[in-house]
Structure 1
Amino acid sequence: MSDMKKRNEFIDNLIGRMTVEEKVGQCFTFSWRGSLVTPAVKALIEKLHVGGLRIEPYTAESARSTYYGKSLADTDYEQPEGYTDMPKTYFTAKTPGNYIMPSEYAERINRLQGIATSCPAGIPLNICADNEGACTNDYQFGGMPGYPALMGLAATGDLELTEKVGKAIGQQLRAVGITMLHSPVCDINVNAANPEIRFRGFSDDPEMCADYVAAFSKGLIAGGIIPMAKHYPGRGDSSTDAHYELEQINVDKERLHDVELRPYKRMIAEGCLKGVMTCHSAYPLVVGEDLPATLSKVLVTDILRNELGFDGVITSDAMGMGAIVNRYGLPNACVMALKAGVNLMLCKSDDETREQVYYRMLDAVRSDEVTMELLEGSVRKVLEAKYDQGLFENAQVDAAAASAYVRNDEILGVAQQAAERSLTLMRDEDNLLPLSQDKKVLIIEQLKMAEFTPNDIYQGHWRFNAEILKHSDNVINADCTFIPTAEECDFLCDVAKEADVVVVTNFFWRHAGNKANAELVERLIAEGNKVVVVTNDPYAEGAPATAGTVLNCWSLMGESLQEVAATLYGKKEATGTLPVNNYQAYAGKTGEAEDLVPA
């Protein structure tokens, strides 16, 4: 019997004995926040038969949480027959999660997999995560190295290294028990004002993006992870954030194929497109209405499935984003997404919406609003992905070995090489670099938000200051909150009078309200200080046009900060090249950044 026939028979038999409740549950990915195996997360598996969990161990699970500032519960929701309230966890939602080592976390994932495979259907879980490099890391504990943002990998100019990074990320996460990665970002950032994608994508050039997306995906697959390429069909030409509102991207079908779809077509051609995540942007010139891509049968089924020939699993982006819930409500939107051709609905909220979306879908199947044929076809894609990854044979990992594995020499070497090779000197108009030992330097380091930060020696607070101190004692060590207050700016500008040079981090972070430290940077420059800007972002917010010296390390992670410190003091040279053309040019100290025309 061929391997394909064996797979088909296995899945046919499994679907044949699954209940309708189990089939509906396989269509959902819910979040598991924190690291405690609570009754709430166990009930997702035992009562809602969930297909997978999206991990977020850096924060606490809570039924009191909101998603981007609002509750997602549908106040008009009518409970159908059989509706059952789920257990709840009432922790404070914004409290940082417990620090948990890889081996400890792997043990808990093993426990959850054991619960899933002990249920009547015996179906293992997809354990999903985000890891796009830089600050987008759902698991970053126990010395797991950090990597540059994807645009930073393109800055290395090295496809082979990019594939190695993908493999290293995949190996580390798989060792912990993670099976599916919501990455890579395929969006071509053609809009320099994009608040959401920016350095998360590889480039503003479609061909370069296709090259690097394929290399990175091949690495993830080699590392044992299913990559979910996102955000289909593309979020690069956007000027708003889908977390808050629906963006209409007014491109026609010819442009869509030539630009946005090029990375997906490349991956299909090279056999490395295993999964796709849809976006919540509207393409009215392609679809004929302002319907989010996730809810569009034209984009998901007609184009992705039928025209491009994609045969893998399709997941939605988080269904709780404003672009979806503000118009359709979460339970109805999940039904619409399934009907459009999405196989997995990603629902990250932690309140009663879990029951609402599940029972709304179950009711849709029972009423024949969703046909059994459609439901089973979707479930088949989910099960095929799990089968192909070997999860039905063994969903467990060697938990005891996980902590040592994530810090093996080969993986650490790849991470450090990527940090070094990506470092890009955008400009040094005033010849401030390298820094001289006889110059007093004020170091101003943004403190990462504690909710997302494992506060250890590897990735925690003050890592940049610690790296600088390896090269010079003639420094003033300082910090500020990620977006400093007016009082902090006043204080730091006063301290700057004591220094010959100011080195200030100007990192951009989506979770900081799509902001950077640019206000403090521009004030320091305006007051006549010699300023070196260290950033992760090549656009106006990260590299203000008034800043004459800008060093881009593409990351907030310790590995990159180590390379920055060495480069600032002349021990290493920045060899990266900008993989984008639409960044902002230097205008001298007389220009105002917001009035400049992008280069």
Structure 2
Amino acid sequence: MSDMDIRNEFIDNLLGKMTLEEKVGQCFTFSWRGSIVTPAVKALIEKLHVGGLRIEPYTAESARSTYYGKSLADTNYEKPEGYTDMPKTYFTAKTPGNYIMPSEYATRINELQWIALNSSGGIPLNICTDNEGACTNDYQFGGMPGYPALMGLAATGDLELTRKVGKAIAQQLRAVGITMLHSPVCDINVNAANPEIRFRGFSDDPETVAEFVCAFSEGLIDGGIIPMAKHYPGRGDSSTDAHYELEQINVDKDRLHDVELRPYKRMIEKGCLKGVMTCHSAYPLVVGEDLPATLSKVLVTDILRNELGFDGVITSDAMGMGAIVNRYGLPNACVMALQAGVNLMLCKSDDETREQVYYRMLDAVRKDEVTMDQLETSVRKVLEAKYDQGLFENAQVDAAAATAFVRNPEILEVAQQAAEKSLTLMRDEENLLPLSQDRKVLIIEQLKMAEFTPNDIYQGHWRLNREILKHTDNVINADCTFIPTVDEINFLCDLAQEADVVVATNFFWRHAGNKANTELVERLIAEGNEVVVVTNDPYAEGAPATAGTVLNCWSLMGESLQEVAEVLFGKKKAGGKLPVGNFQEYVGDSKAEVAEELVPA
């Protein structure tokens, strides 16, 4: 009997033993926020038979939370027969999670896997997370190194280094107990005004993205993680954020195949497309209606499955985004997604929506809105992914070794190499670099949002200040909130008069309302200061047209900020090359015009 026959027989036998309730539960990924194993998270496994957990230890689990500012509960929801309320946790929402070392967190994931394996179904969990580099790192505790954004990896021009980064990330996360990564981003960022993707994608060139996404995915697979390539079929040509509204991407099928689908087709050719995450954008010229891709049988089944021949597991993006819930409501949308061919519905909410989506799906199967064949087809894909990863035999990890592994010297060296090689001097029109120790430097460093930031020496606040102090004491140390207030801007502009040159971070972060520190930077320039902009974003917000000196480190993380200081003081050269051509270029001396707009009367 071949390995494939053994696998099929195992899954056939398992499906034959599973109850309807267990089959429905396997089609969901719910969030586990924080790091406390509460009755609420246990109930997801024991009562809702959940297929996986999306871990977010940086914040607190709470039934009081909202998703992008609103509750996702369907106020028109009618409880079907058998509906049971789950235990809930009422911690204060948006509270930074407890600092937890990798070994302790791995112990708690092992506990959850034990509960799953010893439940009636005996099915292990997918433990999922995000790690795209830059500021998208759901697990960054205990000295977990930071990596450049994916566009920063493309800036290195080094496919082998990109492969090593993928493997390093996977090895570190797998040591903690994480099994599936909601990455890499395959989107071709052809729209420079894109508020959501930007540097999260590798490039605005389809061929560059195809090459780098394969290298990164091969590394993830080699490190023991299932990569979920996203956001199928593509969100690079978007001018809105799907978290808030449905975007219409008006490309025809020929363009879709040539641009958006090129990375997916290349990954299938190379055998490294193991999982896909769908997006919530509409493609009316392809589908014939403005239906989000996640809910479109044409895109999910007809094209991805049948035309491209993809045979792995398909997950949705977070179903709570405005593009979905504003039109369809969360419970009904989950049913529509499964009907379209999605196998895993990702529901990142910590309230009664867990029960609503589960019991709505159960009711849909009982009423034949979802056929048993559709349900079992999806469950089979989920089980195949778990089987292929060996989770039925080895779901738990060596928790005691996790902390040391996260700080493995060889892996840390890969992270530092990526930070160094990605560093890109976008321009230095005013020849400000390298900085001289004879000139007083005002350092203005944005404070990262506390909810997402471990308060430690590795990735905590003021890292750029600390790194610059290794090179000179002739500084004024300062900070500002991530998006500074008017009072902060006024204070810092006054302070700049005491310095010869200003080094100001201008980091872009979608969690900060798709904004950067642009207003302060442009005001400093308008008032005649010499300003070195340190950014993670090559577009207009991160590198405004009035900024003559822009150093792009592609990240807010400590490893990249260390390299920034080295380049600022001439110890190293920035060798990265911009992998995009649609960035905003320097317009020359326009201080007078900007001054009139930004300087207060």
TM-score range relative to shorter protein: over 0.9
Match for 2:579: what amino acid? P
CA displacement, residues 38-65 of structure 1 (integer Å, 9 cap, x when unaligned): 0000000000000000000000000000
Deviation at 1:120, TM superposition (A): 1.1
What CA distance in whole angstroms lies between the structure 2 residues aligned with 1:408 and 1:388?
27
SS in 2 for 1:6: helix
Q: Which residue of 2 aligns with 1:31?
A: 31
Answer yes or no: is 1:104 the counterpart of 2:93.
no
What CA distance in whole angstroms lies between the structure 2 residues aligned with 1:588 and 1:35?
50
Q: Which residue of 1 aligns with 2:574?
A: 574
What CA distance in whole angstroms lies between the structure 2 residues aligned with 1:479 and 1:402?
34
Answer yes or no: is 1:564 the counterpart of 2:532.
no
Match for 1:270: what amino acid? K
Q: Which residue of 1 aligns with 2:467?
A: 467
Match for 1:205: what amino acid? D
Q: Which residue of 1 aligns with 2:341?
A: 341
SS in 1 for 2:442: strand
CA displacement, residues 454-500 of structure 1 (integer Å, 9 cap, x when unaligned): 01000000111000100000000000000000000000000000000
Say whether the 8 Å CA contact 1:246–1:324 is kept in structure 2: yes
Say whether the 8 Å CA contact 1:545–1:592 is kept in structure 2: no
Q: Which residue of 2 aligns with 1:124?
A: 124
CA displacement, residues 180-204 of structure 1 (integer Å, 9 cap, x when unaligned): 0000000000000000000000000
Match for 1:80: what amino acid? P
Q: Which residue of 2 aligns with 1:244?
A: 244
CA displacement, residues 428-459 of structure 1 (integer Å, 9 cap, x when unaligned): 00000000000000000000000000010000
Match for 1:403: what amino acid? T
Deviation at 1:528, TM superposition (A): 0.3
TM-score by length of 2: 0.98
Match for 1:391: what amino acid? L
What CA distance in whole angstroms lies between the structure 2 residues aligned with 1:389 and 1:168?
18
Deviation at 1:299, TM superposition (A): 0.1
Say whether the 8 Å CA contact 2:441–2:499 is kept in structure 1: yes
CA displacement, residues 517-574 of structure 1 (integer Å, 9 cap, x when unaligned): 0000000000000000000000000000000000000000000000000110000100
Q: Which residue of 1 aligns with 2:379?
A: 379
Q: Which residue of 1 aligns with 2:41?
A: 41
SS in 2 for 1:376: helix
Q: Which residue of 1 aligns with 2:281?
A: 281
Q: Which residue of 2 aligns with 1:64?
A: 64
Q: Which residue of 1 aligns with 2:218?
A: 218
Equivalent positions of 1:180-199 (< 5 A) are 180-199=180-199
Q: Which residue of 2 aligns with 1:498?
A: 498
Match for 1:120: what amino acid? S
Say whether the 8 Å CA contact 1:155–1:577 is kept in structure 2: yes
What CA distance in whole angstroms lies between the structure 2 residues aligned with 1:536 and 1:108?
34
SS in 1 for 2:317: strand
SS in 1 for 2:550: strand
Q: Which residue of 2 aligns with 1:520?
A: 520
What CA distance in whole angstroms lies between the structure 2 residues aligned with 1:48 and 1:213?
35
TM-score by length of 1: 0.99
SS in 2 for 1:584: coil
Match for 1:63: what amino acid? A
Answer yes or no: is 1:397 the counterpart of 2:397.
yes
Q: Which residue of 2 aligns with 1:75?
A: 75
Q: Which residue of 2 aligns with 1:296?
A: 296
Q: Which residue of 1 aligns with 2:160?
A: 160
Q: Which residue of 2 aligns with 1:253?
A: 253
Q: What stretches of structure 1 of length at least 5 have no aligned partner?
A: none
Say whether the 8 Å CA contact 2:522–2:594 is kept in structure 1: no
Say whether the 8 Å CA contact 1:283–1:292 is kept in structure 2: yes
CA displacement, residues 205-241 of structure 1 (integer Å, 9 cap, x when unaligned): 0000000000000000000000000000000000000
Equivalent positions of 1:410-429 (< 5 A) are 410-429=410-429
Q: Which residue of 2 aligns with 1:583?
A: 583
What CA distance in whole angstroms lies between the structure 2 residues aligned with 1:218 and 1:93?
37
What CA distance in whole angstroms lies between the structure 2 residues aligned with 1:571 and 1:479?
24
Q: Which residue of 1 aligns with 2:15?
A: 15
Deviation at 1:507, TM superposition (A): 0.2
Match for 2:437: what amino acid? Q
Say whether the 8 Å CA contact 1:331–1:357 is kept in structure 2: yes
Deviation at 1:588, TM superposition (A): 1.4
Deviation at 1:138, TM superposition (A): 0.6
Q: Which residue of 2 aligns with 1:267?
A: 267
What CA distance in whole angstroms lies between the structure 2 residues aligned with 1:250 and 1:369?
31
What CA distance in whole angstroms lies between the structure 2 residues aligned with 1:119 and 1:60?
26
Q: Which residue of 2 aligns with 1:114?
A: 114
Q: Which residue of 2 aligns with 1:484?
A: 484
Q: Which residue of 1 aligns with 2:507?
A: 507
What CA distance in whole angstroms lies between the structure 1 residues aligned with 2:377 and 2:500?
66
Deviation at 1:96, TM superposition (A): 0.3
What CA distance in whole angstroms lies between the structure 2 residues aligned with 1:252 and 1:32?
39
Q: Which residue of 2 aligns with 1:151?
A: 151
RMSD over aligned CA atoms reads: 0.9
What CA distance in whole angstroms lies between the structure 2 residues aligned with 1:158 and 1:525?
35
What CA distance in whole angstroms lies between the structure 2 residues aligned with 1:266 and 1:225?
19
CA displacement, residues 374-407 of structure 1 (integer Å, 9 cap, x when unaligned): 1000000000000000000010000000000011
Deviation at 1:29, TM superposition (A): 0.1
Q: Which residue of 2 aligns with 1:550?
A: 550
Say whether the 8 Å CA contact 1:525–1:589 is kept in structure 2: no
Taking every aligned residue pair, what percent have the same amino acid on both sides? Answer: 89
Say whether the 8 Å CA contact 1:74–1:329 is kept in structure 2: yes
SS in 2 for 1:551: strand
Match for 2:521: what amino acid? V
Deviation at 1:589, TM superposition (A): 2.6
Deviation at 1:84, TM superposition (A): 0.2
Say whether the 8 Å CA contact 2:523–2:594 is kept in structure 1: no
Q: Which residue of 1 aligns with 2:94?
A: 94
Say whether the 8 Å CA contact 1:315–1:344 is kept in structure 2: yes
Say whether the 8 Å CA contact 1:526–1:589 is kept in structure 2: no
Q: Which residue of 2 aligns with 1:439?
A: 439
Deviation at 1:328, TM superposition (A): 0.1
Deviation at 1:592, TM superposition (A): 6.1
Q: Which residue of 1 aligns with 2:140?
A: 140
Match for 2:502: what amino acid? V
Match for 1:207: what amino acid? E
Match for 1:373: what amino acid? D
Answer yes or no: is 1:53 the counterpart of 2:53.
yes
Match for 2:447: what amino acid? L
SS in 1 for 2:488: helix
Say whether the 8 Å CA contact 2:526–2:594 is kept in structure 1: no
What CA distance in whole angstroms lies between the structure 2 residues aligned with 1:59 and 1:74?
24
Deviation at 1:118, TM superposition (A): 0.2
Match for 2:263: what amino acid? P
Q: 4+ runs of 1 displaced by more than 4 Å?
A: none
SS in 2 for 1:276: strand
Match for 1:88: what amino acid? K
Answer yes or no: is 1:458 the counterpart of 2:458.
yes
SS in 2 for 1:43: helix
Match for 1:562: what amino acid? Q
What CA distance in whole angstroms lies between the structure 2 residues aligned with 1:41 and 1:290?
36
SS in 2 for 1:318: coil
Q: What stretches of structure 2 of length at least 5 have no aligned partner?
A: none
Q: Which residue of 2 aligns with 1:327?
A: 327
Answer yes or no: is 1:5 the counterpart of 2:15.
no
Say whether the 8 Å CA contact 1:103–1:401 is kept in structure 2: yes
Match for 1:395: what amino acid? A
CA displacement, residues 276-334 of structure 1 (integer Å, 9 cap, x when unaligned): 00000000000000000000000000000000000000000000000000000000000
What CA distance in whole angstroms lies between the structure 2 residues aligned with 1:361 and 1:592?
55
Match for 2:404: what amino acid? A
Q: Which residue of 2 aligns with 1:531?
A: 531
CA displacement, residues 570-594 of structure 1 (integer Å, 9 cap, x when unaligned): 001000000000000100131769x
